[in-house]
């Protein structure tokens, strides 16, 4: 048994803190490195293996960068508003503020036990007034700039969480948090105008060092679509409307048009005898989610409005239908239907016996959704898809009946929440003055403590007379406060800007500091944030830039996602399955470094995988072995100075390992880093068996070994560094360099096969020419015996590895 334990952890954590070893040096901005892990939610379930997997390996990476000379800033904090604390309060009666503060205390302790280089003097907690004051300030700035607005709209409502949700928080038709099916409600809510930035949010993705999959998800979510708008006139009426289409080349194939049930146009065009059916249909479709409505496989439904529209290109009259496969919120909320070349239109037309006219050649049957030469399209017949689009848009625009058009799927971000535990929206409603923003010098609008927060679909703050009733900042008359709180994603959309200047009481942050400290150089967190936090933060950065508070475009230049650590059964950890791994117990037993090393060695960082107790035991044994070998290395006595083969081999491994670990750590390939360090351990152990040892070389090896191990096992390595006669601290040391010359082997071992069976292994000069290798191989005694009496038919040389002889 080795000496390493939590005692060693505690000893070094205290020394590090006493000596402020990890303090960020504000005077060395040239080498600043902002390493950021997504901050955590202060949950009663404490710090779990997933948090550890996010923070531990990234801290190792940051330590590696520190040793490379970077001035590392690695802050930590808490995303402390939100529903779990409120739901817990409803269940237990413990106030969200009290439970949150208690959870933060526990998690801080746990995080400290990890021994990461966190800059605790920069901690932020989003539910404290000194933070949310500035979240409210941010909202007011967006409002001033026209980027926050209030509107009545059909919004997503989670009946279980009793609040509205942003589009991004609806996953497969369900609430992102609880999975309950989301319904539509007409409500007046606050929105942030993220759509003003659709194009930039899309374009700038190209330059980011982010996982391709995450970029693809954002691209898809932003959903840029290039097409055209064409204007249809309602027959016997002055009403006209536009449709958005990506296939304007199929305009001659339109046999009906469809309006979304919620489109204001629907009521305008519906004739008297169809009102009843249309109203009935509207009620039905309000109950469906957008996902259901867009599903390709779902049975199409719809009703006729009684009106007809005129096709702008050929004057043909086509019926106007209402159907819920058309969404009111996309394009113009109206679609020209081409059943011959669109699957949904085809299914609909088939069901309701509407005509189907082919206008594009190709395919055996309809619908044919690819491009091809036009047919049944009068003067456009014979044109290719692109030619036809150009020609038809040209014709339409000459008649003022159409033009090119780009659409985005991205919608504005709904930020009102009908819940208690969040930052109050700093707005007052005055009978005389209308919407009045709370002046900056009156911030924060404090969240009152004594509130009945049991949810009933209304905002809990509405029940607090004391909170609601106020005076108008503008006219001094009676006014009422906004009672909704902000989506917690607003709090987390700017926390990385607060960290470097977290104590500032005059401003959200000092632009001078922030412009030097940001962008974040490496951001690490879960992939589930792809289209929420990671999109919101980019938007807020751009908005603040345009208001003059920042001078950079993107908050996170380089992003990595950690994988998921599963329970020992390979299932997602959950209390109900009883397969959760509590880091605390393991740390008590093995020490923080063994826990961290196991996470880094046992899993591919971006993949994760199933927990294994055997795995962590093996790592614990490895750490003990390292301790033993290092002490044997230091105790070995000097016997000689000449350089022999064993020394060369050890020196080769040493340099190879330094090179590999440097490259792999950079790429977040931590498992191979640890594997290489294990190889180094084996090489040292082997060399210790030599009868005569070069202690100078051993000393250098031990020195390098501890330095490259230190980011991965920080406490243990400090102890080893001290034990091997060095001065505090290994983290003040430079990361070792490798000697490229030591990596050129002058001899290599190759295997010789005869008819597929290995007959010999020989050492040859590594620069030996192919012919000479063949000759040497054929001269070997074992080989000679194996080919005795046979004809050598072929000799194949695979350089540096193998000679293959075929003989019959
Ligand atoms: C006629 C047509 C013919 C279409 C054809 C497609 C194929 P993206 O790529 O997603 O932008 N569309 C337009 N607005 C819609 C809405 N509010 N709800 C549902 N569908 C809508 O898709 C654009 C296509 O989706 C448009 O092109 C339109 O159908 C439909 F052979 O117009 B198309
Ligand atoms: Zn007023």
Query: Does ligand 1 come within 6 angstroms of the Cβ of 117?
Result: no
Cα(570)–Cα(679) distance, integer angstroms: 29
Ligand 1 pocket residue status of 244, Cβ below 6 Å = yes
Could you tell me the distance, in angstroms and rounded to a whole number, from the CA of residue 270 to the centre of ligand 1?
22
Does the C-beta of 311 come closer than 6 Å to ligand 1?
no
Cβ neighbors of 682 (< 8 A, separation 6 or more) are none
Distance 530 CA to ligand 1 centre (A): 26
Which residues, listed in sequence order, are joined to residue 374 by a DSSP beta bridge?
A: 360
Nearest CA-CA partner of 41 in 611, 713, 492, 706: 492
Place of tokens 């848009």: 393
Beta strands in 512-599 (DSSP E): 522-525, 559-561, 564-566
Taking the C-alpha atoms of residue 327 and residue 407, their distance in angstroms, rounded to an integer, is: 14
- Give the distance, in angstroms, between the CA of residue 249 and the centroid of all CA atoms in the same chain: 38
- In angstroms, the CA 39 to CA 156 distance is 27
Ligand nearest to the CA of 478: 2
Residues paired with 463 in a beta bridge: none
As a whole number of angstroms, the distance between CA 751 and CA 743 comes to 21
246 lines ligand 1 (CB under 6 A): yes
Task: For ligand 1, pick from 247, 256, 290, 323 the residue to mutate: most ligand atoms within 8 Å of CB.
Answer: 247
224-408 belongs to which CATH class? alpha beta
Ligand having the closest approach to the CA of 479: 2
d(CA 804, CA 808): 13
Domain 613-742 bears CATH identifier 1.10.730.10: yes
d(CA 439, ligand 2 centre) in Å: 13
Domain ranges of the chain: 224-408, 613-742, 745-807
| Same fold? 224-408, 745-807 | no
Strand partners, 405: 227
DSSP-assigned beta bridge partners for residue 320: 257
C-alpha span between 559 and 47 (Å, rounded): 22
- Contact predicate 640/14, CB 8 Å: no
Place of tokens 């991965």: 712
- Ligand 1 centroid to residue 364 C-alpha, Å: 23
Radius of gyration of the chain (CA): 34
Residues 311, 376: Cα–Cα separation, whole Å: 15
8 Å CB contact between 369 and 346: no
Is the minimum distance from the CB of 620 to ligand 1 under 6 angstroms? no
Q: Can you give the pLDDT at residue 76? A: 97
Tokens in use for 406? 């780009």
CA of 475 to the centre of ligand 1 (A): 50
CA distance 668 to 671: 9
CA angle 608, 610, 614 (to 5 degrees): 120
Largest separation between any pair of C-alpha atoms in the chain: 113
CB of 6 closer than 6 angstroms to any ligand 1 atom: no
How many angstroms separate the CA atoms of 606 and 346, rounded?
43
Distance CA(98)–CA(114), nearest Å, equals: 25
Our measurement of the distance from residue 592's CA atom to the centroid of its chain's CA atoms, rounded to an integer in Å, reads 27
Going from the Cα of 466 to the center of ligand 2, the distance in angstroms, rounded, reads 18
Residues of the chain with pLDDT under 70: 1, 291, 638-643
pLDDT at 638: 67
Domain 745-807 has CATH 3.10.20.590: yes
295 lines ligand 1 (CB under 6 A): no
Secondary structure (DSSP) of 135-165: HHHHHHHHHHTT-EEEEEEEEEEETTTTEEE
Summarize pLDDT for 183-219 with one digit per residue, the tens. Answer: 888 889 999 999 999 999 999 999 999 999 999 999 9
**Pocket-testing residue among 330, 341, 367, 370, ligand 1, by greatest number of atoms within 8 A of Cβ:** 330
């Amino acid at each position: 048994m080795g000496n390493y334990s939590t005692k060693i952890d505690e000893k070094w954590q205290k020394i590090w803190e006493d000596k402020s070893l990890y303090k960020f040096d504000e005077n060395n901005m040239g080498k600043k490195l902002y390493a950021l892990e997504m901050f955590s939610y202060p949950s009663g379930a404490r710090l779990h293996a997933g948090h550890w997997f996010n923070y531990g390996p990234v801290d190792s990476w940051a330590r590696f960068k520190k040793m490379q000379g970077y001035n590392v800033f690695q802050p930590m904090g808490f995303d402390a508003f939100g529903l779990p604390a409120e739901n817990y309060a409803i269940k237990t009666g413990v106030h969200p503020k009290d439970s949150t503060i208690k959870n933060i205390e526990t998690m801080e302790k746990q995080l400290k036990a990890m021994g990461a280089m966190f800059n605790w003097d920069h901690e932020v907690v989003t539910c404290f007034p000194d933070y949310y004051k500035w979240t409210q300030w941010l909202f007011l700035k967006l409002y001033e700039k026209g980027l926050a607005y209030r509107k009545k709209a059909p919004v997503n409502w989670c009946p279980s969480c009793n609040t509205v949700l942003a589009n991004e928080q609806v996953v497969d038709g369900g609430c992102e948090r609880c999975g309950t099916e989301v319904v539509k409600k007409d409500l007046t809510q606050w929105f942030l105008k993220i759509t003003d930035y659709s194009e930039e949010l899309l374009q700038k993705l190209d330059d980011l060092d982010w996982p391709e999959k995450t970029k693809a998800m954002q691209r898809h979510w932003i959903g840029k679509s290039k097409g055209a708008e064409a204007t249809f006139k309602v027959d016997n009426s002055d009403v006209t409307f536009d449709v958005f289409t990506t296939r304007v080349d199929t305009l001659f194939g339109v046999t009906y048009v469809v309006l979304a049930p919620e489109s204001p146009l629907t009521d305008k065009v519906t004739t008297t005898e169809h009102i009843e059916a249309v109203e009935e249909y509207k009620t039905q479709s309000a109950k469906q989610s957008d996902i259901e409505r867009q599903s390709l496989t779902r049975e199409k439904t719809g009703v006729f409005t009684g009106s007809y529209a005129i096709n702008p290109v050929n004057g043909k009259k086509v019926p106007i239908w209402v159907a819920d496969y058309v969404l009111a919120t996309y394009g113009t909320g109206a679609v020209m239907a081409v059943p011959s070349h669109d699957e949904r239109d085809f299914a609909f037309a088939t069901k309701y016996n509407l005509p189907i006219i082919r206008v594009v050649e190709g395919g055996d049957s309809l619908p044919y959704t690819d491009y091809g030469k036009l047919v049944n399209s009068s003067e456009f017949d014979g044109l290719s898809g692109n030619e036809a689009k150009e020609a038809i848009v040209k014709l339409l625009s000459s008649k003022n009946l159409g033009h090119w058009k780009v659409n985005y799927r991205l919608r504005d971000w709904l930020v009102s929440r009908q819940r208690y535990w969040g930052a109050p929206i700093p707005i007052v409603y005055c009978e005389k003055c209308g919407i009045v923003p709370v002046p900056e010098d009156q911030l924060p609008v404090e969240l009152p403590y004594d509130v009945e927060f049991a949810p009933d679909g209304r905002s809990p703050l509405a029940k607090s007379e004391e909170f609601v009733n106020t005076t108008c900042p503008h006219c001094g008359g009676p006014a009422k406060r906004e009672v909704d709180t902000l989506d917690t994603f607003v709090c987390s959309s700017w926390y990385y800007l607060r960290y470097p200047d977290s104590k500032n009481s005059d401003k959200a942050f000092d632009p001078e500091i922030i412009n030097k400290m940001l962008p974040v150089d490496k951001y690490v967190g879960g992939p589930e944030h792809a289209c929420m936090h990671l999109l919101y933060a980019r938007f807020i950065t751009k908005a603040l830039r345009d208001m003059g508070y920042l001078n950079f475009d993107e908050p996170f230049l380089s992003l990595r996602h950690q994988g998921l650590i599963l329970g020992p059964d390979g299932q997602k950890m959950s209390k109900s399955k009883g397969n959760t791994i509590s880091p605390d117990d393991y740390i008590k037993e093995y020490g923080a470094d063994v826990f961290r090393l196991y996470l880094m060695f046992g899993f591919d960082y971006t993949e994760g995988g199933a927990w294994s107790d055997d795995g962590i035991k093996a790592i614990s044994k490895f750490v003990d072995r390292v301790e033993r070998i290092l002490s044997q290395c230091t105790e070995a006595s000097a016997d000689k100075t000449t350089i022999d083969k064993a020394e060369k081999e050890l020196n080769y491994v040493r340099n190879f390992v330094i090179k590999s670990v440097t490259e792999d750590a950079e790429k977040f390939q931590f498992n191979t880093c640890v594997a290489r360090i294990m190889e180094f351990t084996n090489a040292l152990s082997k060399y210790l068996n030599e009868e005569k040892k070069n202690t100078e070389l051993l000393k250098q090896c031990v020195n390098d070994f501890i330095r490259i191990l230190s980011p991965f096992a920080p406490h243990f390595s400090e102890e080893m560094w001290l034990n091997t006669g060095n001065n505090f601290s290994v983290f003040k040391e430079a990361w070792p360099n490798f000697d490229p010359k030591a990596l050129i082997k002058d001899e290599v071992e190759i295997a010789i096969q005869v008819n597929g069976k290995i007959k010999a292994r020989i050492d040859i000069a590594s620069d030996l020419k192919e012919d000479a290798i063949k000759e040497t191989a054929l001269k070997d005694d074992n080989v000679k015996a194996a080919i005795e009496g046979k004809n050598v038919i072929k000799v194949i040389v695979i350089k540096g590895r193998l000679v293959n002889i075929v003989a019959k």
